[in-house]
Structure 1
Amino acid sequence: MKKILSLIIVVFFIGCKGDETKEIETVSAPENDSIADDNIISDAILGEEEVEFNLGEANRLAELPLGCIETEYPNKLGQTLENEEALGTPKELHPAFYGCFDWHSSVHAHWSLVSLLKQFPDLEKEEAIREKLKNSLSAENILAEVDYFKRPQSESYERTYGWAWLLKLAEELKTWEDPLAKELDANLQPLTDLVVQRYLDFFPKLNYPIRVGEHSNTAFGMSFAYDFAQSTEDQKLMDAISKRARDFYLSDDNCPVNWEPGGYDFLSPCLQEVDIMLRILPKNAFNLWINDFMPDLKNEDFTMEVGEVSDRTDGKLVHLDGLNFSRAWVFYHLANKYPEDFGHLRSLASEHVSYSFPNLVGDTYEGGHWLGSFAIYALEAASKE
């Protein structure tokens, strides 16, 4: 089956290359005049309950990134020191993205603020958010970030998880019709260009995919980068990702989902692979592929127990809350794109959101500095029905 499918894909890709780029839509903002205080952007049905992604909830979620993007310590730098002069405080090294414990969490905290403000322009702290974004994402700060990435020992810095979130932030800015977004996007562009080039340089050298439930997962890094490439019509980046995703995953069968989750997972190795293939394969090819890879997803009785967190003060164990959100957004993506085959997964997605959502605000910094971004992205996916 896989050899036949490979031939089908090659023929289709050569003959209809342009069509596959239309397979997934980027998230776009609602019209400003359609948003009121009690407007519901998304209703995620959570078993017996319902989470309303409305202005009140958005105000609550905004407190998480607002509370950490200027919080310098505690901090995990994750750097390789090439010499004594490479030492510095987080703010000295990363004037744009020094808060929220680590670089990538700071990046997706900024994405969270942009995303929330884009959807809910009447946020209570709208002025403060705009000011903080303008201060963080100044042209000067971004050029300093570029300089850091160009250090001799930083070629693999934040590869590819942080790269993916940087492109998600850039995508959000580029698709937001607001004067501030245009200014910040222009400031961010040198770092955006650098990260795109890092992707183009890295993927041809990567001989094998990384199938884990944490930051280095290849499929996750591909998915967000593909969204960016599609929204900006960067055909070169789309082609590079599409080629390597086929190389890595097209022949995969029977993903061992019963091995999941791992104790520290915040991504599902199986479902992240589904997520990238959902983006790059046309419908018939995806249908053939999923029948070999995870056929049970089409079963209306398919279920998957939520990842249970035993201690939310433990920075690794709380990863499982993130797993619940990332599983949910893949289920929503499937249900949204092919409701006839996967519509039943919406309820399973909502069960996963339901378990972890109540613990976001007011919990420990171990989860509070990053989990809001995962929740927002999952709720955005839920709203696309």
Structure 2
Amino acid sequence: MHLSPDHATRFATATLSHLGREYPYKMDLVMAGPEDAKPPRDHHPIFHGSFDWHSCVHGWWQVLRLARRFPDLSVAAAIRARADAMLVPDKVAGELAFLDRPTATGFERPYGWAWLLALHAEAAAHDAPWAAALEPLAAAFAARFHAFLPKLTYPLRVGTHFNIAFALLLARHWAGPRDPALVALIDARAQDWFGGDADCQAWEPGGDEFLSSALTEAHLMAIVRGTRFADWFDAFLPRAAQRTPATLFTPATVSDRSDGKIAHLDGLNLSRAWCWRAIAAALPAGHPVVAEAEASALRHLDAALPHVTGDYMGEHWLASFALLALDGLADREDRS
């Protein structure tokens, strides 16, 4: 299944409709006094739509990527015009001012940090001033990764925003051509935390998870270990060729898409599809798990793609994960 112009139009149209939609909005704010009781756009001049800060950030990543992949898309001109108005230095300065608050040290750590870096990497692929405007914000979050990773004693394995493997996948993609020291730090930490993992039981999903703890870890290790990935994977999921643990091969059931937490499970299905595709591409040809991984990716896509739009609790973010599942994070990722 490939990313098509029809997918792109559907995703981008929905996302444009909420990038500037201020309410409802879930603030991540520690109030230091009554002066902080201000509307979202006063705190976040760019990322004040899409229900929350991180969803707005990856919504921007998504529409910029779609406009680049399909420059003749009917909404591509609207995307570029919106970016010209919003991704500008004075608005970035406002976002930086929020980060300078004494209580904002852990703001959006690590999920929002990583998505901002992904947005900057995508902006840099355009012939536009957007990446230059965003560069100070990207530098600020890269510095936070440099400071945080050495003191994170234990990995964050949860299936929600705090998952460290997912954040490092995005951060490493940004750092590759820009920050070799961060690449080295990420690789060292990933090996420290995950290098000895074996016989994963995959007790998932939890009731509100949108990431697979097992598969995001495996995806990260595929990037970090390169040609040495297969041996690690065979120890990590030794019965994967027999579709065990079965939960990793079975799409999650979503009982109520109007419930913002339960709707996370559509995102789990999409992010698993992305991970399974990446794992299949990283394993050597003829490996017994490749066919199962590819089939599982399709099952998860089939379960989730019809529900990317339709209810705002999913619609404000799911298209970004659908784009990952269909097209990957980097242009070089497998699209088979």
Shorter-chain TM-score category?
A: over 0.9
Partner-residue secondary structure (3-state), 2:91: helix
Gaps of 5+ in 2: none
Amino acid paired to 1:274? A
Q: How does 1:125-136 map to 2 (within 5 A)?
A: 125-136=75-86
1:248 aligns with 2:196: no
Provide the identity percentage.
36
Is the contact made by 1:266 and 1:319 (CA closer than 8 Å) also made in structure 2? yes
Is the contact made by 1:335 and 1:343 (CA closer than 8 Å) also made in structure 2? yes
Partner-residue secondary structure (3-state), 2:257: coil
The equivalent of 1:84 in structure 2 is: 34
Query: How many angstroms does 1:261 deviate by?
Result: 0.7
In the alignment, the residues of structure 2 paired with residue 57 and residue 327 of structure 1 have an alpha-carbon distance, to the nearest angstrom, of 19
1:198 aligns with 2:141: no
Partner-residue secondary structure (3-state), 2:270: helix
The equivalent of 1:228 in structure 2 is: 174
In the alignment, the residues of structure 2 paired with residue 351 and residue 282 of structure 1 have an alpha-carbon distance, to the nearest angstrom, of 26
Cα 1:288–1:179 shift into 2, 3 Å: closer
1:364 aligns with 2:315: no
Runs of 4+ with >6 A deviation: none
The equivalent of 2:233 in structure 1 is: 290
Query: How many angstroms does 1:287 deviate by?
Result: 2.2
Query: How many angstroms does 1:384 deviate by?
Result: 2.5
In the alignment, the residues of structure 2 paired with residue 151 and residue 291 of structure 1 have an alpha-carbon distance, to the nearest angstrom, of 46
Is the contact made by 1:168 and 1:225 (CA closer than 8 Å) also made in structure 2? yes
Partner-residue secondary structure (3-state), 1:282: helix
In the alignment, the residues of structure 2 paired with residue 211 and residue 150 of structure 1 have an alpha-carbon distance, to the nearest angstrom, of 28
In the alignment, the residues of structure 1 paired with residue 184 and residue 23 of structure 2 have an alpha-carbon distance, to the nearest angstrom, of 40
Q: Structure 2 residue aligned with 1:214, among 160, 171, 174?
A: 160
1:354 aligns with 2:298: no
Q: Structure 1 residue aligned with 2:132, among 167, 172, 186?
A: 186
Is the contact made by 2:165 and 2:216 (CA closer than 8 Å) also made in structure 1? yes
Cα 1:383–1:236 shift into 2, 3 Å: closer
In the alignment, the residues of structure 2 paired with residue 347 and residue 360 of structure 1 have an alpha-carbon distance, to the nearest angstrom, of 21
User: Which whole-Å deviations, capped at 9, do the CAs of 1:46-91 have from their partners, x for residues lacking one?
Assistant: xxxxxx5221221111112101111000000021122222332101
In the alignment, the residues of structure 1 paired with residue 33 and residue 281 of structure 2 have an alpha-carbon distance, to the nearest angstrom, of 50
User: Which whole-Å deviations, capped at 9, do the CAs of 1:11-55 have from their partners, x for residues lacking one?
Assistant: xxxxxxxxxxxxxxxxxxxxxxxxxxxxxxxxx1xxxxxxx5221
Amino acid paired to 2:304? S
Amino acid paired to 2:48? Y
Normalising to structure 2: TM-score of the pair?
Answer: 0.93
Query: How many angstroms does 1:228 deviate by?
Result: 0.9
Partner-residue secondary structure (3-state), 1:340: coil
Q: Structure 2 residue aligned with 1:163, among 108, 113, 125?
A: 113
In the alignment, the residues of structure 2 paired with residue 249 and residue 218 of structure 1 have an alpha-carbon distance, to the nearest angstrom, of 11
Cα 1:168–1:268 shift into 2, 3 Å: same
Normalising to structure 1: TM-score of the pair?
Answer: 0.82
Aligned residues: 327
The equivalent of 2:219 in structure 1 is: 275
In the alignment, the residues of structure 2 paired with residue 376 and residue 265 of structure 1 have an alpha-carbon distance, to the nearest angstrom, of 18
Query: How many angstroms does 1:301 deviate by?
Result: 8.3
Q: Structure 2 residue aligned with 1:325, among 253, 256, 270?
A: 270
1:146 aligns with 2:96: yes
Is the contact made by 1:108 and 1:166 (CA closer than 8 Å) also made in structure 2? yes
In the alignment, the residues of structure 1 paired with residue 311 and residue 276 of structure 2 have an alpha-carbon distance, to the nearest angstrom, of 28
1:384 aligns with 2:329: no
In the alignment, the residues of structure 1 paired with residue 47 and residue 281 of structure 2 have an alpha-carbon distance, to the nearest angstrom, of 33
Q: Structure 2 residue aligned with 1:262, among 206, 218, 221?
A: 206
Partner-residue secondary structure (3-state), 1:373: helix
Cα 1:302–1:255 shift into 2, 3 Å: closer
In the alignment, the residues of structure 2 paired with residue 92 and residue 340 of structure 1 have an alpha-carbon distance, to the nearest angstrom, of 55
Which piece of structure 1 moves more, 191-200 or 338-347? Answer: 338-347
- Structure number, greater radius of gyration: 1
User: Which whole-Å deviations, capped at 9, do the CAs of 1:66-122 have from their partners, x for residues lacking one?
Assistant: 011110000000211222223321011001100000000000000010110010001
User: Which whole-Å deviations, capped at 9, do the CAs of 1:186-239 have from their partners, x for residues lacking one?
Assistant: 000000000000000001111111110100011111111011111x24211101
Is the contact made by 2:281 and 2:334 (CA closer than 8 Å) also made in structure 1? no
In the alignment, the residues of structure 1 paired with residue 225 and residue 88 of structure 2 have an alpha-carbon distance, to the nearest angstrom, of 38
User: Which whole-Å deviations, capped at 9, do the CAs of 1:297-320 have from their partners, x for residues lacking one?
Assistant: 344788521011000000000000
Partner-residue secondary structure (3-state), 2:207: coil
In the alignment, the residues of structure 1 paired with residue 237 and residue 201 of structure 2 have an alpha-carbon distance, to the nearest angstrom, of 9
Gaps of 5+ in 1: 1-43, 45-51
Which piece of structure 1 moves more, 57-66 or 332-341? Answer: 332-341
In the alignment, the residues of structure 1 paired with residue 311 and residue 232 of structure 2 have an alpha-carbon distance, to the nearest angstrom, of 41
